[in-house]
Each structure stands twice: as structure tokens, then as C-alpha cells.
């Protein structure tokens, strides 16, 4: 607290990201990074970018990157917005499209950055309880609102919502923007991208941090009607003209173009996830259905906090959320390599 702070800063409760420990040799399964490195073509592109041209500003509109992304989804470049990680894209989305007189709606258990953006931009919001089984019931969102946002698959549950449900929501909710945060969609969840040309109020956000193994490069994007994209550009150009630096642009373009590598690593992660779910179930865990690169699991007898601490003593880091109490028994475990799964399972056998 300080007399020099603005009123809004006094009231902020910032997001706390998952720990990035400095210790080596940890089995790090806490922040949903990809266990496989980026495509070798990304590394090559980054090396080429380390050149004299770094003295020049990057393209403020990121035209080449937008074109590469648009090409992937058969969209036009004016339907693409890019930012410094999808967190920055989401911040602009909250500011540009979700601040209205009616409350923004999102699930009570979801990505915990959403209420933080509401605090930053002074947006009123109302949380909607998930069903008993942690799934989203789109009928619950059928009420006056200034916007709707949720991840699909949801985080931290990992549960995917079928596309027909999203379409049902869009058919009913035409007066405000519906944002589907598809940070984890490439690990086996149906994407809503193909609905963009039919629903002018649908915005889909993606990140290169997960399925494209580039959490360290910080690139995310939003896809939607040109009108929504223009609102985001207006906010971006009132904030930072150059959110995508030359390295981020070159690396992200190469990552979007190497579709084969992306598909191969996604398949590997999904295969590891399925065997991990089986092994955890055999050890007495209840595991929620996952369409993500992480799973949400609770042990039938041992509590979430205790298990997290025991894993940590054995150099394995997973994520545990103390609140709300409904999810306190659960561990959120990132899907790593098969070798990391083996270490996790053998450690659990020891501590359980």
C-alpha cells in the first residue's frame, strides 16, 4: 500500500502463475507446458532472425503472422488478432468487448485470470456454477449479460464441451460477445473456429504456448469477425504498437507452418494422457474426462494438498488449487513424456 498508488492498484488482486522453479531435475507437471520442444523449423527461423535487422521495429500489424494463422484455419487475415501470449489477447478482449452495463458471465470454476481482468478493467461479472460433474450447462447462460467467456476444454478441469452445445449457446445469445478460450483445444477437443463465419459475435482465442510448444516465446491470437478484430486493434494500438517482436513473429510463423510436427506432438501427448489416466485410475484416482494436455484427478482417500506436498518432496511438481473447496481434493497434472509419467506413477505407488 502506498500513497503513490492509483485507486485501482489498491484494489487489484493479481493472478498468481504456476511456479517456475529454478531447481534442475524436477519433474515439472504444474503449468501445462508441452514436454516436447518446438519444431526444429522454429529454431532455424529464430537463428535467422538474430541479425542486424533487430535494430528495426517489427511490423506493428504482424501481417505475415496473421496471414500464416489465417491460412491454417481458412480465414481471412482481417479475422485474426495477435498478441504477446493469449493472456495479453484476453486482456484486450476484456477491455474491448466484455465491458458493458450487464455482467460478464463465466463459470465458477475456470481460468482464474478472468476475475483478475475484471478487477483491472472494472468489469462487473457473475459466476455460473458448473454442474455437479463439473461440466458446463449452456442453458445456465441464458440470461441478460454483457458477454460470456469460458475455456473449452475448461481449465482446470480439462472437460471438453461438445460443439453442438456451443452452437446452441450462440443461437440463443446473439446480443453480446461469446468468447471461447481454446488454449488447450488441440489435444482432442472440437474447435468452434468453423462457426466464426456464421456467428458475428463469436471470438475464439488460441495460444502457441501449449500445443505448439512455445510458452517461452509468448504468442497468442484471437479469431473472429473483422468488426471484433478491429475493436481489439483499437485497444492494442492504444497500449503497445509492437506486442509481437521479430523473434516471436518468425518463430510463430514457422510453428504455424509446420503442421506435421504439431500434429505428431499432439498425438504423442494424447497417447501419454490416456495411459496416465489408466494408471492413475488403477491407483485409486477418480480422473475427470480430459480434452486437454492435463488431467484433473482426486484420490479416493488422500487429500489434494497432502499429495501435492508428498510429490514435491520427491521432486515432482503438480498444481493444487485450495479454492473453491469443491476442487481442493484434486490435483491438476500436466501430461509430460511417458518417462515422466512413469516417475509420477512409481512415486505415487510409494507414497500412497
Spell out where 109-201 has E strands: 125-128, 147-151, 178-181
The residue behind cell 529454431 is 43
Q: How far apart are CA 317 and CA 311, in angstroms?
A: 7
- 157 touches ligand PLP by CB under 6 A: no
- 86 touches ligand PLP by CB under 6 A: yes
- 151 touches ligand PLP by CB under 6 A: yes
Alpha helices, DSSP H, located in 177-288: 226-236, 246-257, 259-282
Tell me the pairing of strands 104-107 and 147-151: parallel
**In whole angstroms, how close is the CB of 324 to ligand PLP at the nearest point?**
17
Q: How far is CA 52 from the centre of its chain?
A: 34
Q: How far apart are CA 270 and CA 352, in angstroms?
A: 26
User: Which residues ranging from 89 to 128 are in contact with ligand PLP (CB under 6 A)?
Assistant: 111
**In whole angstroms, how close is the CB of 220 to ligand PLP at the nearest point?**
4
- 173 touches ligand PLP by CB under 6 A: no
- 207 touches ligand PLP by CB under 6 A: yes
Residue partners of 236: CB distance under 8 A and separation at least 6: 81, 83, 92, 243
Alpha helices, DSSP H, located in 28-187: 40-49, 63-73, 85-97, 113-121, 163-172
**In whole angstroms, how close is the CB of 227 to ligand PLP at the nearest point?**
23
Helix, strand and coil content of the chain, in percent to the nearest 5, comes to 40, 15, 45
**In whole angstroms, how close is the CB of 206 to ligand PLP at the nearest point?**
8
Q: Which stretch binds ligand PLP (CB under 6 A): 55-63, 124-132, 207-215, 314-322?
A: 207-215
Q: Which stretch binds ligand PLP (CB under 6 A): 85-93, 267-275, 300-308, 319-327?
A: 85-93
The one among 220, 243, 291, 336 contacting ligand PLP by CB under 6 A: 220
**In whole angstroms, how close is the CB of 2 to ligand PLP at the nearest point?**
29
- 209 touches ligand PLP by CB under 6 A: yes
Q: Which residues bind ligand PLP (CB under 6 A)?
A: 32, 85-87, 111, 151, 155, 181, 183, 207, 209, 215, 220
Amino acid at each position: 500500500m502506498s500513497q503513490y498508488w492509483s485507486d485501482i492498484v489498491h484494489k487489484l488482486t493479481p493472478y498468481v502463475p504456476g511456479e517456475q522453479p529454478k531447481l534442475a531435475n524436477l519433474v515439472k507437471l504444474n503449468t501445462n507446458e508441452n514436454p516436447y520442444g518446438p519444431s526444429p523449423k522454429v529454431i532455424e527461423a529464430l537463428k535467422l532472425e538474430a541479425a542486424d535487422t533487430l535494430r528495426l521495429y517489427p511490423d506493428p500489424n504482424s501481417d505475415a503472422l496473421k496471414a500464416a494463422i489465417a491460412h491454417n484455419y481458412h480465414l481471412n487475415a482481417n479475422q485474426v488478432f495477435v498478441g504477446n501470449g493469449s493472456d495479453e489477447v484476453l486482456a484486450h478482449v476484456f477491455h474491448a468487448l466484455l465491458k458493458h452495463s450487464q455482467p460478464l458471465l463465466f463459470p465458477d470454476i475456470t481460468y482464474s485470470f478472468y476475475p483478475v481482468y475484471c478487477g483491472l478493467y472494472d468489469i462487473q461479472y457473475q459466476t455460473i456454477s458448473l454442474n455437479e460433474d463439473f461440466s458446463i450447462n449452456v442453458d445456465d447462460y441464458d440470461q441478460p449479460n454483457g458477454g460470456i467467456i469460458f475455456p473449452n476444454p475448461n481449465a482446470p478441469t480439462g472437460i471438453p464441451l461438445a460443439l453442438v452445445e456451443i452452437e446452441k449457446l450462440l443461437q440463443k445469445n446473439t446480443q453480446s460477445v461469446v468468447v471461447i478460450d481454446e488454449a488447450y483445444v488441440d489435444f482432442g477437443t472440437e474447435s468452434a473456429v468453423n462457426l466464426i463465419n456464421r456467428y458475428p459475435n463469436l471470438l475464439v482465442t488460441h495460444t502457441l504456448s501449449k500445443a505448439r510448444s512455445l510458452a517461452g516465446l509468448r504468442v497468442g491470437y484471437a479469431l473472429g469477425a473483422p468488426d471484433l478484430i478491429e475493436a481489439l486493434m483499437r485497444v492494442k494500438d492504444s497500449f503497445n504498437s509492437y506486442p509481437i517482436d521479430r523473434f516471436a513473429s518468425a518463430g510463430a510463423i514457422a510453428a504455424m507452418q509446420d503442421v506435421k510436427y504439431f500434429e505428431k506432438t499432439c498425438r504423442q501427448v494424447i497417447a501419454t494422457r490416456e495411459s496416465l489416466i489408466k494408471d492413475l485410475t488403477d491407483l485409486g484416482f477418480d480422473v475427470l474426462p480430459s480434452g486437454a494436455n492435463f488431467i484433473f484427478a482426486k484420490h479416493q482417500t488422500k487429500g489434494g494438498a497432502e499429495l501435492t506436498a508428498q510429490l514435491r518432496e520427491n521432486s515432482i511438481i503438480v498444481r493444487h488449487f485450495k479454492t473453491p473447496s469443491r476442487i481442493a481434493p484434486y490435483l491438476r497434472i500436466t501430461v509430460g513424456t511417458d518417462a515422466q509419467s512413469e516417475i509420477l506413477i512409481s512415486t505415487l505407488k510409494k507414497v500412497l
